[in-house]
Amino acid sequence: MMASEISLGLMELSVVRELTNIGLGHATTSLSEMTGRKFTISVPDVESLSLERIPELLGGCEAYAAGIYMPIEGDVTGHIAFLLPWPSVRSLWKMLLGTEPCDPSEITEMDASALLEIGNIINGSFLSAIADMTNLAMHSTPPYLAIEMSAAILDAIVVEASSKDHLALAIRTTITEAEGSLEGFFVYIPSIGGLRHLFASLGIAEAA
Amino acid sequence: MAEIQVIRGTGQLTCLGLGSCIGLCGLDPVSNVAGMIHVMLPEAFQAKGEEKPGKFADTGVPALIEAMVRLGANQSRIAFAMAGGAQVFKFSANNESKLDIGTRNGAAVAAKLRELGFEIVAQDTGGNSGRTVIMTVETGIFTVRTVTSGEKTLCNLRG
């Protein structure tokens, strides 16, 4: 796989974890405001997972999954995606819309736009948290959604990201609501220059 | 991804979950040499010597042929089929997806094969579905699997 695995020191990992926690805190608020329900989003672990391992965590290479992907523009360019295994996608629809398509072929416009909106909020909050802390400009661009074989979604993201050299970071995320909880994965692929920029602006010497 | 797989005799070659990438497979039915590449992008960047040639259409197609010939294939007998090159991110806020590398990948692989004088026996490219491709050397059968349509035989590379 082209986007090689990021290797961050403990210090950098804890910074990313903290940024993620803050970002997801923002996302939780927006999500609760939008739906009128109480959500919590937690980050049990920030791992530098290899992108190749993600399909396996989403239920296998050929398992259905959803991916909401956004290119990032500004001082720290890169790519961000939020990936959900199929059972999580269904739970999310149930939470948000009260109904859930049983089969991927029954997905409606409404189902798709609900997922795009959620992805937009989650990815956008993550970016604005980082931007606020670092004073760097990071602009999210309109999101794209795929509901497909998990490996095919990853394949498309890696292709988009690999026009230049990139590193990848995967963050396991749990979204909890009164009716249950679901798991998703955040994939953050900053450009190498962007990452250097990011750590420098936080006053941390880069490990990688 | 970007790997060049070659086998001789018996066995299967697969590419799991192709999105915008292309799985290109060649078979020489006489020597039973088969090969597959997982092409990610249409063309190699300049000044990137250490990149795997299999990653790009323009370098990957000749590299696949060369690897097959090294294993005993006769270049003039190789039959090709390909699948992939989808636009899996089909939903977007403005209903207009600009992510079209899949289409360009398919066109670049086809163009390179034509340039080298090869015909493509069959292809299943484009659309929005992720694909898994499997080619069985013994039978020459090239199958494509998608989540929505299941598994179907695209062609037989033994003719």
- Is residue A74 predicted with pLDDT exceeding 70? yes
Asked, for residue A168, whether it belongs to a domain, the answer is: yes
Q: What pLDDT does residue A2 have?
A: 38
Element spanning A208, H or E: none
Which of B1, B101, B133 to mutate against chain A (most A CBs within 10 Å)?
B1
Which of A54, A62, A155 to mutate against chain B (most B CBs within 10 Å)?
A155
Domains identified in chain B, total number: 1
Asked, for residue A207, whether it belongs to a domain, the answer is: no
Q: What pLDDT does residue A48 have?
A: 64
| Structural domain that includes position A35 | 4-201
pLDDT in tens, B4-19: 999 999 999 999 999 9
Q: What pLDDT does residue A122 have?
A: 80
CA distance A166 to chain B (A): 14
Token pair listed for B143: 């199958």
Asked, for residue A206, whether it belongs to a domain, the answer is: no
- Is residue A95 predicted with pLDDT exceeding 90? no
Q: Dihedral of the CA atoms A114, A115, A119, A121 (nearest 10)?
A: 10
CA angle A156, A158, A159 (to 5 degrees): 65
Between residues A5 and A56, which one has the greater pLDDT?
A56
Q: Dihedral of the CA atoms B45, B49, B51, B54 (nearest 10)?
A: 80
Between residues A123 and B126, which one has the greater pLDDT?
B126
CA distance B118 to chain A (A): 26
Token pair listed for B65: 């042929």
Distance CA A146, CA A154 (A): 10
Q: Taking a C-beta distance cutoff of 8 angstroms, is the pair B124, B63 a contact?
A: no
- For the beta carbon of residue A72, count every other beta carbon within 10 angstroms: 24
Distance CA A108, CA A12 (A): 41
Q: What percent of chain B has pLDDT over 70?
A: 92
- The CATH number assigned to the domain holding B133 equals 3.30.1330.200
Q: What pLDDT does residue B117 have?
A: 96
* ipTM of the complex, rounded to two decimals: 0.88
Question: B95 falls in which pLDDT band (50, 70, 90)?
Answer: low
Q: What percent of chain A has pLDDT over 70?
A: 89
Residue indicated by tokens 């009128």: A36
Please state the φ and ψ torsions of residue A133, each to the nearest 5 degrees: -75, -30
- Is residue B76 predicted with pLDDT exceeding 80? yes
Q: If DSSP codes are grouped into helix, strand and coil, which group holds residue B14? A: strand
Q: What pLDDT does residue B97 have?
A: 63
| Structural domain that includes position B22 | 4-156
Look up the pTM and report it.
Answer: 0.87
Between residues A116 and A197, which one has the greater pLDDT?
A116
Task: Please check whether residue A57 touches B, CB under 8 A.
Answer: no
Whether residues A158 and B94 touch (CB distance < 8 A) is answered with no
Asked, for residue A208, whether it belongs to a domain, the answer is: no
Beta bridge partners of A171: A46, A186
Whether residues B16 and A61 touch (CB distance < 8 A) is answered with yes
pLDDT in tens, B24-75: 999 999 999 999 999 999 988 765 556 778 889 999 999 999 999 999 999 9
pLDDT in tens, A110-150: 888 888 988 888 888 878 877 888 888 888 888 999 999 99
Beta bridge partners of A73: A139
Domains identified in chain A, total number: 1
Q: What pLDDT does residue B123 have?
A: 97
Q: What pLDDT does residue B38 have?
A: 94
Quick check: is B155 catalytic? Answer: no
- The CATH number assigned to the domain holding A144 equals 3.40.1550.10
Distance CA A71, CA A38 (A): 29
Distance CA B82, CA A116 (A): 32
Residue indicated by tokens 């604005």: A128
